Amino acid sequence: MTDTARALWYIGAREAQIREENLELPTTGSVRIRATHGAISRGTESLVAEGRVPPSEFERMRAPFMAGRFPFPVKYGYATVGTVELGPSPLLGRTVFALHPHQTAFNLPSDAAVAVPAGIPAHRAILAANMETALNAVWDAGPGPFEQVAVVGAGVVGTLTGFLCRELMSADVTLVDINPARASVAMALGLRFATPDAALTDCSLVFHASASSDGLATALAAAADEATVLELSWYGNTPVSVLLGGAFHSRRLKLVASQVGRVAPSHRPTWTHRRRLEHAIGLLADDRLDIVIESPVLFEELPARLPAILKNGSSILCQRIDYP
């Protein structure tokens, strides 16, 4: 027996289409998930949609259940929430999160479906992958103490990183962004806000998540002597200018990459990827986090709506997808 599903594919630069796919019955140890909500990861998916994944990263940047090959066509994405409609009884009928591309229904190994706790609404669980990235970044930062923290780039990952620094480290956190409208998001989450021209200096820890050379320069300028700047941006094949000829050496600054593909070294001996994702989902219980989720678009509308969602300079944060 087979069923059919509909999936979003990136088929060329700034071109996407919805394709029908056949689904076999799930095998032993697998589940069938019917999608209810999803999310567009604007930073990564904009690079994928434009064909800007460099050849050297074709294998490393594959999403867990991606289909196709870079640059095109690819079925890409990693934020889907749905209901288990076929599978073992402990999961049957449960709301789960999966690192799966945008698709109406799909089969997965049972251990790749992470149950969403009852107190967390399904629509907010779409933030799980972004929250996992933010959590790993906070772990990469180390134990502190960090009194003043700046996060340059108030997109979804930057905002969630600032939120976790406030909640887990009790740090005084300032979000820095060129868009003054982000001030209301910062205020809702108990964070300070500044535009780059008014950004703090002498911060004991700085995160950079704007994916721009100007943002990186702002992050370096905000760091105190011997502080660390944690780079969360992924630039694809875009060249980046880093101003290292000024005070970078004399102030003994550290520029360190943080990437979610591996558990932070501080937690790697005892934390698995699964455990980290489960913990990240548990951190979504705060109702204030809804402020980073945009009004939903319908799955069938995605090919027409994606150019506006992914365009450079868009003010959209987490674009929610609703499935029929």
Q: Which residues contact 119 (CB under 8 A, 6 or more apart)?
A: 285
Q: Which residues contact 218 (CB under 8 A, 6 or more apart)?
A: 152, 176, 196, 199, 210
Concatenate the DSSP letters of all residues of 5-68 into one string. Answer: EEEEEEEETTEEEEEEEEEEPPPTTEEEEEEEEEEE-HHHHHHHHTT---GGGTTTT--TT-EE
Contact 156, 150 (CB under 8 A): no
pTM summary value = 0.96
What are the structural domain ranges in the chain?
A: 2-123+293-322, 130-257
Same fold, 2-123+293-322 and 130-257: no
The tens place of each residue's pLDDT in the chain, 324 residues long, gives: 569 999 999 999 999 999 999 999 999 999 999 999 999 999 999 999 999 999 999 999 999 999 999 999 999 999 999 999 999 989 999 999 999 999 999 999 999 999 999 999 999 999 999 999 999 999 999 888 898 999 999 999 999 999 999 999 999 999 999 999 999 999 999 999 999 999 889 999 999 999 999 999 999 999 999 999 999 999 999 999 988 888 899 999 999 999 999 999 999 999 999 999 999 999 999 999 999 999 999 999 999 999 999 998 889 999 999 999
- Residues constituting the chain: 324
Q: Could you identify the residue written with the tokens 């939903």?
A: 296
At the fourth CATH level, which superfamily is domain 130-257? NAD(P)-binding Rossmann-like Domain (3.40.50.720)
**Rounded-to-integer distance, Cα 245 and Cα 140, Å:** 26
Question: What is the third-level CATH fold of 2-123+293-322?
Answer: Quinone Oxidoreductase; Chain A, domain 1 (3.90.180)
Q: Could you identify the residue written with the tokens 């943002």?
A: 215
